A and B are shown apart, each in its own frame.
Chain A
Amino acid sequence: MFQRDTLNSELSFFQKIKEMDYTLLICIILLSIISLLVMYSTDGGEILFHTKSHFSKLAVFFPMMILIAFFNIRYWHSFAYLFYFLIILLLLYVSFFGLKSSGSQRWMDLYLFVLQPSELMKIAIILCLAKYYHRIKVESVNSLTSIILVLSIIIIPIIFVISQPDLGTSVLIAMSGLIVLWLGGVKVKYFVYSFLTFLISLPFIISFLKPYQKLRILTFLDPDRDPLGAGYQIIQSKIAVGSGGLEGKGFLKGTQSYLDFLPEKHTDFIFTLFSEEFGFIGSVGLLILYTVIIFRIIRIGALSRSNFSKLFCFSFAFSIFIYIVVNLSMVLGLLPIVGSPLPIMSYGGSSMLATMIGFGIVLSAKINRKQIIA
């Protein structure tokens, strides 16, 4: 009992610094530097708008991550439900008063930067469900009420996001939610059944898709059916990656990029530019860096004493993995084009904010790994 009390007590500032996970921190710093260099390349080798903006976002969000890390994981545990409801409110706000751009309404103007609440929902849903499964008894995990409750926790934000419309983000939110359910112990047969149901209802789902979404799927199946229109992005993206070769064309020398053949090169297609300039070696290197980050987060989860930390770390690691897989598969022509950013690398404040919050909580879990949460 005594021992437990000391463990529960607050760590001093120096203890926290000592307990900080430097492997993960160094990886995040490395990734940030790479992302700045690539952003510099998208600006054509000059420090222009995107580079500056990306830098200032890093300058704000990185310290914020450290700050989050220094708070005890208990606070984040207690804050989880509130955070989820806050984001739901923001989604509600956005669906009425949000900014519109290219046919969808998903942003809100915060003067300093434009926030996309659906990106934050990716992290909020993990926090919320992690807390739920932390608190619930193992026996009740597969009870009907529990299943209905967690499904509605997942479905409510998805309804908002789909209506924006934003298929890519809603799929990612669903994936993030489902992984917590999986880790929480929901029976395997439920997953199998729902997957089968999904397959059967796929034709009906497709009939509900918007024409541009159907087009994306058709384009994925055969990019050459409209090489200058719908298939243009994926064809140009494959050309950029493929022409990079083993060693790449060299920093600032990606012709596909600086001659503007690459679409969305700052955001979703940032990997394409990286891959063109740094080649196979660079791409695998980046992938290894991401793998180190993911497995480090899993390691932190495994070290953590509380199930909340475990659930959060494992789910967050999986989410990051999913973001990377979806993004890379998309730019490499393995999946249809769905808007999904590459964590930290892609230009975009909300995605970076969500990722940094996630990293912050993971670091907090590491510092407070012996903390038991009631």
Chain B
Amino acid sequence: MIKENLGIRKSDVINRRMFIIGAAKIIIFTGIVARLFSLQISENKKYLTLSDKNRIREWKLPPTRGNIVDYFGNIIAGNLKVYQLHIIPEQVENFNYLLVRLKTLLNLSEKKIQKIVNLKNKLKPWDSIIVSENLSWSQFLKVNNYLYDLVGVKPVMTISRNYPFSEIYTHVLGYVSQPNEEEILENEIVKERFVPGMKIGKLGLEKTLENQLIGTNAIQRYEVNAYGKRINQLEYQKGLQGSKIRLTVDTEVQKLSSQLLSNKAGSISVMDIYTGDIIAMYSSPSYDPNLFLFGISQDEWQLIRNNPLKPLINKTLSGLYSPGSTIKPIVALSALENKIINPNFKVKCTGKTELYGQTFHCWKEKGHGFVSLKNAMKQSCDTYFYEIARLLGVDRLNVTAKKFGLGEKVLGEYFDNEKRGLFPNTNWKKNNLGRGWVLGETLITGIGQGYTQTTPLQLCLMTAQIANGGYKIKPKIIVNDDPLTLEDAKNSMELQSLQKPNTRLFNDSKNIKIIQEAMFSSTNEQFGTSYRSRIDDPKYQFAGKTGTSQVKRISKRERELDLKLEQIPYKDRDHALYVAYGPYKNPRYALSIIVEHGGSGSKAAAPMAKELFKLIIDRDELRNKQSNFENINI
């Protein structure tokens, strides 16, 4: 019985203690349910987002750049389909065999093979390796023929930048290439849209207009597993192509410029004197921008870099030259405007003039005799300009030159390699060289030598502003929303000059007329320096001013020798310059030509103007139609 009792007592203990833990169980299970509730119901949204973040990954594709077209709508920077070859390592059965096959098929170098092997070891097995960025069509066909034998190889078609006119537009457009890290970080938009394989503008308009041209990424949304492998595509979001940009340039004129300057170093710029449209802007020699798209080879790069004619320099904008005699219209205008001389003012030229014991030579050793302003311009008499420069003084000359745009950037906002040039005055010399101005320096400034440095485009703008009657224009290379017709441009130019006096560059319009006539005689009258390049047909007739800019001081001995161009070393030959506008009656276009080390302006540069004016004026009608047409469209 005792045992029985004890037994009952024991089961009591067991039951009582069971009850305690039974209650504990319910509490704990309730706790777990509460935890489940908080995770699955209260915080469901948070964890759902986290789960999507886990499994959904976006791939951005390189955006398609906008096209750049010339004034007539011809694509000058476009996009081309290119064929590429990718390897997807996880699909490859025998990697070494594949490499051997590809090596023979595509003539891959040992270095390239090593690169592929390195990439393979670095990347995930499902990431594709780019074997060739730009397969030729025949290579592409070859690969396609042997595709059955090339397991794991994928021929891919993508889009790449293309410059159909190759070197014609290099200095205007620049080119695109792979950006470096700094370039990516510099630009917020590039940083945001960058994906491997994307190219950005490195130079020229491609660089300045990057944000308009770039376009938006296409986005592929994939479901991925924990190792990052794509399982399936959920969404494809198309990207937008970058904006189309229309330039004011005319490819035909640009082409002719490149032909005229072939094998020479120099520059040609052509401008509409009313609208400021740049019709052509060519710097010679140029190079093929397509070479840079897929990484230029070391050999080709060295060839461009070491070319003595310096193709990498955009001479139109960053070439600095003494304007030589092409400055004379401005010197004469300044003298007239400041009432230093009247048109009948005469100077006797004996071939040289002396000042404080220093001799200043005229280009014509025997002298021009008594010359008036018109004759001095026509025959480019240096003595005459020494004299009026002396009477005028450099500071007053500087004011006129500045008005016409010398010493200022012309297209500064679009080309970061553009130079300002320099037109000196007494203050400038004191501040920068720490010495006082010397009168002799005024004399040589009067014939465009000395400190003066100008870019070819500045000379073109200067000429255009003389040609349009002395009104300030804003040169432009990009067609804006409402292109002006000739009449509108003329009217708005004159209207503007009434509202804003500083856009009128003259005090007396008669003075501009005198300069225009003088330039006309220089080209179209006998003994004019560019008489041989004249066109008699009034439709094409143009007026201009030659210039020959010395690269080094001519010694007495050299002056006596009077060497022929071929006898002088290339480096020491003068630069040939020519500025002109036409047609003479109702002018519309101005141009500037410079041939580096080309000798005299009348021989080397002026004949090019003849060719150019023929083409430009022939295309004038087409151009006007184009602008009208565009107006209707808008």
* B33 partner, pick from A284, A295, A321, beta carbons under 8 A: A284
* A259 partner, pick from B15, B48, B55, beta carbons under 8 A: B55
A339 at the interface (CB under 8 A from B): no
* B36 partner, pick from A240, A318, A325, A332, beta carbons under 8 A: A332
B225 at the interface (CB under 8 A from A): yes
A179 at the interface (CB under 8 A from B): yes
* B47 partner, pick from A243, A298, A302, beta carbons under 8 A: A243
CB distance from A45 to the nearest CB of B (A): 14
Interface residues in A279-294 (C-beta closer than 8 Å to B)? 279-280, 283-284, 287, 291, 294
- The B interface, classified by DSSP as helix, strand, loop or mixed, is helix
Check B14 against A275 for contact (C-beta < 8 Å). Answer: no
Q: How many residues of B contact A (CB 8 A)?
A: 38
Check B32 against A138 for contact (C-beta < 8 Å). Answer: no
B13 at the interface (CB under 8 A from A): yes
Q: 1/0 per residue A204-246: CB within 8 Å of B?
A: 0000000000000000000000000000000010111111111
B527 at the interface (CB under 8 A from A): no
In the complex, which residues of chain A have a beta carbon less than 8 angstroms from the beta carbon of B36? 241, 275, 280, 283-284, 287, 332
CB distance from B29 to the nearest CB of A (A): 6
Known A307-B11, A307-B14, A334-B35; judge A243-B227 contact (CB<8 A): no
Could you give 20 example pairs across A and B, Cβ below 8 Å? A138-B6, A138-B13, A179-B21, A184-B13, A236-B54, A239-B47, A241-B36, A242-B46, A246-B40, A255-B223, A256-B51, A260-B227, A280-B40, A287-B32, A294-B25, A298-B18, A298-B22, A318-B25, A321-B28, A332-B36
In angstroms, Cα B29 to Cα A245, docked, is 19
In the complex, which residues of chain A have a beta carbon less than 8 angstroms from the beta carbon of B46? 242
- The A interface, classified by DSSP as helix, strand, loop or mixed, is helix
In the complex, which residues of chain B have a beta carbon less than 8 angstroms from the beta carbon of A301? 18
Check B25 against A321 for contact (C-beta < 8 Å). Answer: yes
In the complex, which residues of chain B have a beta carbon less than 8 angstroms from the beta carbon of A250? none
Check B44 against A242 for contact (C-beta < 8 Å). Answer: yes
Known A138-B9, A259-B55, A318-B21; judge A242-B48 contact (CB<8 A): yes
A182 at the interface (CB under 8 A from B): yes
Interface residues in A94-128 (C-beta closer than 8 Å to B)? none
In angstroms, Cα B7 to Cα A184, docked, is 12
Check A261 against B18 for contact (C-beta < 8 Å). Answer: no
A314 at the interface (CB under 8 A from B): yes
In angstroms, Cα B4 to Cα A138, docked, is 12
B226 at the interface (CB under 8 A from A): yes
* A183 partner, pick from B17, B33, B35, B227, beta carbons under 8 A: B17
Interface residues in B46-85 (C-beta closer than 8 Å to A)? 46-48, 50-51, 54-55
CB distance from A320 to the nearest CB of B (A): 10
* B54 partner, pick from A246, A259, A302, A329, beta carbons under 8 A: A259
In the complex, which residues of chain A have a beta carbon less than 8 angstroms from the beta carbon of B28? 321, 325
Check B226 against A259 for contact (C-beta < 8 Å). Answer: yes
In the complex, which residues of chain B have a beta carbon less than 8 angstroms from the beta carbon of A314? 14, 18
In the complex, which residues of chain B have a beta carbon less than 8 angstroms from the beta carbon of A241? 36, 39-40, 47
In angstroms, Cα B379 to Cα A22, docked, is 125
Nearest B residue to A329, CB-CB:
B32
B238 at the interface (CB under 8 A from A): no
CB distance from B40 to the nearest CB of A (A): 4
CB distance from B47 to the nearest CB of A (A): 3
In angstroms, Cα B18 to Cα A301, docked, is 10
Q: Which residues of A contact B (CB under 8 A)?
A: 137-138, 179, 182-185, 236, 238-246, 255-256, 259-261, 275, 279-280, 283-284, 287, 291, 294-295, 298, 301-302, 307, 310-311, 314, 318, 321, 325, 328-329, 332, 334
Other than the known A283-B40, A284-B33, what 14 A-B pairs have Cβ atoms closer than 8 Å?
Answer: A238-B39, A241-B47, A242-B39, A244-B44, A255-B55, A256-B55, A259-B223, A259-B231, A260-B226, A287-B36, A291-B29, A295-B22, A307-B11, A310-B14
Q: Which residues of B contact A (CB under 8 A)?
A: 6-7, 9-11, 13-15, 17-18, 21-22, 25, 28-29, 32-33, 35-37, 39-41, 43-44, 46-48, 50-51, 54-55, 223-227, 231
In the complex, which residues of chain B have a beta carbon less than 8 angstroms from the beta carbon of A183? 13-14, 17-18
In the complex, which residues of chain B have a beta carbon less than 8 angstroms from the beta carbon of A329? 32, 35
In angstroms, Cα B21 to Cα A343, docked, is 20
In the complex, which residues of chain B have a beta carbon less than 8 angstroms from the beta carbon of A318? 21, 25
Nearest A residue to B48, CB-CB:
A243
Check B44 against A246 for contact (C-beta < 8 Å). Answer: yes
In the complex, which residues of chain A have a beta carbon less than 8 angstroms from the beta carbon of B223? 255, 259
Check A242 against B17 for contact (C-beta < 8 Å). Answer: no
Nearest A residue to B26, CB-CB:
A291
Nearest A residue to B43, CB-CB:
A242
Check B40 against A275 for contact (C-beta < 8 Å). Answer: yes
CB distance from B1 to the nearest CB of A (A): 14
In angstroms, Cα B37 to Cα A121, docked, is 34
Check A310 against B54 for contact (C-beta < 8 Å). Answer: no
In angstroms, Cα B3 to Cα A307, docked, is 13
In the complex, which residues of chain A have a beta carbon less than 8 angstroms from the beta carbon of B40? 241-242, 244-246, 275, 279-280, 283
Check A185 against B10 for contact (C-beta < 8 Å). Answer: yes
In the complex, which residues of chain B have a beta carbon less than 8 angstroms from the beta carbon of A239? 47, 50-51, 54
In angstroms, Cα B48 to Cα A275, docked, is 13
In angstroms, Cα B40 to Cα A283, docked, is 10
In angstroms, Cα B32 to Cα A291, docked, is 12
7 interchain residue pairs of minimum CB distance: A242-B47, A243-B51, A260-B226, A259-B225, A280-B40, A242-B39, A243-B47
In the complex, which residues of chain A have a beta carbon less than 8 angstroms from the beta carbon of B225? 259-261
In angstroms, Cα B17 to Cα A179, docked, is 10
In the complex, which residues of chain B have a beta carbon less than 8 angstroms from the beta carbon of A260? 225-227
In the complex, which residues of chain A have a beta carbon less than 8 angstroms from the beta carbon of B18? 183, 298, 301-302, 314
* B11 partner, pick from A261, A284, A310, beta carbons under 8 A: A310
CB distance from A302 to the nearest CB of B (A): 7
Check A332 against B32 for contact (C-beta < 8 Å). Answer: yes
